[in-house]
């Protein structure tokens, strides 16, 4: 008996809705706490279960059983709707992510994505933009000035960083010639080239903007604890707070999945033309995809453990004065690399080498400037008088 394609579509939807919250609660959160404990030279969770492995379950039970408090003067309907608006768009965006090539189940070929939309990138940008409404409405409906300030900050942050993120993906569109995420992976497979190399600048802009879009360190201004108590979710508790929590971590997964898909070859293994590394092709493609996404989630945790929070004026200046001009310049570079070379793949390869060298030189210049500034600061400090 051959099952209809609709059955597999419904099954994939159920698995996404069921597995993603479980992964967020039991894997990502536990990994974040353990890794942050290690990076900050302190103990992570180690009480609930062996080595703290059941901490995610304990957090879930705590949030579910916690009293759900709504301020007496809040807009109650909007206050209850806001957490849903934060999490539903994030889960919906996962439907266009290709987690691997189609697999054969019996006589049926089952794609490892819910839908291959021919405007996949536009759909992602549109649906993820809806999530900010949950944050804005949650801050406004709470009748709390700190929450309102957090919501307003989130709105300004979204406007500032949605533009460079979209412009960074335009360069991928020029290389892929399609808005479909599946076609993006297949194009990289046909060219034997990950788009991160000619799109190194685009990837940098996209990932910085993605970290800001998800309100994570060092761009967590909408919920800055030292300034706004807890920002937009100050008046939320219990399951409603858990929904905001789930929406944030799901958005992190989406940003990571899109970065892997359009810049790092999706499910493709590295070094496709190296004979000595042919054994890498024996690893299931879906595992390659998950490993790359895990690397990006590790980077999120690393940033949170390392960088201090930006000031709000610095946040705005970075988006409008630096990222948007850089994104426009990158579009011109990619377009000229394609148009000015007969084999436009060759032009992209040369662009990748050029950008790589420039990034290395910029890094070395920054380290030299840091070293010279430290030497000047030490020379200006008063020395203690001996004797």
Using alpha carbons only, what angle is made at residue 285 by residues 284 and 289, rounded to the nearest 5 degrees?
125
pLDDT 10s digits, 204-233: 999 999 998 888 888 887 777 667 777 777
Residue 156 confidence (pLDDT) above 70: yes
pLDDT 10s digits, 353-376: 788 888 888 888 888 888 888 888
CB 121 within 8 A of CB 179: yes
Q: Domain for residue 292, yes or no?
A: yes
Residue 373 tokens read as: 């500034």
Using alpha carbons only, what angle is made at residue 140 by residues 134 and 145, rounded to the nearest 5 degrees?
130
Q: How far is CA 125 from CA 81, 132, 166, 186, 326, in A?
A: 22, 12, 7, 21, 20
Domain that holds residue 321: 70-378
Q: Please state, rounded to an integer, the average pLDDT across all residues of the chain.
A: 84
Q: Domain for residue 56, yes or no?
A: no
Q: Domain for residue 39, yes or no?
A: no
Instruction: Label residue 261 by pLDDT band (50, 70, 90).
Output: very high
Q: How far is CA 354 from CA 47, 271, 326, 357, in A?
A: 51, 20, 16, 5
What is the reported pLDDT for 260?
A: 94
CB 150 within 8 A of CB 228: yes
Q: Domain for residue 34, yes or no?
A: no
Q: Domain for residue 51, yes or no?
A: no
CB 222 within 8 A of CB 231: yes
Find the mean pLDDT for residues 78-83: 86
What's the rounded Cα separation, in Å, for the pair 249 and 29? 9
User: In total, how many domains does the chain have?
Assistant: 1
Find the mean pLDDT for residues 135-154: 82
What is the reported pLDDT for 361?
A: 87
Find the mean pLDDT for residues 295-324: 88
Residue closest to 203 by CA, chosen among 66, 321, 351: 351
């Amino acid at each position: 008996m051959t099952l209809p394609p609709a059955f597999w579509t419904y099954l994939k939807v159920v698995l996404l809705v069921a597995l993603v919250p479980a992964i967020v609660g039991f894997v990502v959160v536990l990994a974040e706490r353990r890794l942050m404990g290690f990076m900050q030279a302190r103990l992570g969770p180690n009480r609930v279960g062996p080595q703290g492995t059941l901490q995610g379950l304990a957090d879930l039970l705590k949030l579910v059983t916690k009293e759900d408090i709504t301020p007496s003067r809040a807009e109650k309907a909007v206050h209850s709707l806001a957490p849903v608006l934060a999490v539903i768009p994030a889960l919906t965006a996962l439907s266009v992510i290709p987690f691997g090539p189609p697999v054969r189940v019996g006589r049926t070929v089952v794609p490892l994505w819910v839908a291959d939309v021919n405007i996949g990138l536009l759909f992602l940008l549109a649906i993820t933009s809806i999530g900010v409404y949950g944050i804005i409405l949650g801050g406004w409906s709470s009748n709390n000035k700190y929450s309102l300030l957090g919501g307003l900050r989130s709105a300004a942050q979204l406007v500032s960083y949605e533009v460079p993120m979209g412009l960074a993906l335009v360069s991928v569109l020029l290389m892929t010639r399609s808005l479909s995420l599946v076609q993006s992976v297949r194009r990289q497979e046909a060219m034997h080239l990950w788009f991160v190399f000619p799109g190194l600048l685009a990837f940098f802009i996209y990932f910085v903007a993605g970290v800001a879009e998800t309100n994570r360190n060092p761009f967590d201004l909408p919920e800055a604890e030292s300034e706004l108590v807890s920002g937009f979710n100050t008046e939320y508790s219990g399951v409603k707070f858990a929904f905001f929590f789930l929406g944030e971590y799901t958005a992190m997964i989406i940003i990571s999945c899109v970065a892997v898909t359009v810049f790092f070859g999706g499910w493709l293994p590295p070094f496709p033309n190296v004979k000595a590394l042919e054994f890498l092709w024996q690893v299931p493609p879906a595992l390659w995809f998950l490993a790359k996404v895990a690397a990006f989630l590790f980077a999120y945790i690393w940033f949170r453990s390392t960088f201090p929070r930006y000031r709000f004026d610095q946040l705005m200046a970075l988006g409008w004065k630096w990222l948007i001009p850089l994104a426009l310049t990158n579009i011109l570079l990619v377009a000229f690399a394609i148009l000015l070379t007969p084999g436009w793949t060759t032009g992209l390869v040369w662009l990748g080498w050029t950008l790589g060298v420039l990034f290395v030189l910029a890094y070395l210049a920054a380290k030299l400037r840091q070293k010279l500034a430290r030497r000047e600061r030490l020379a200006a400090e008063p020395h203690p008088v001996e004797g």
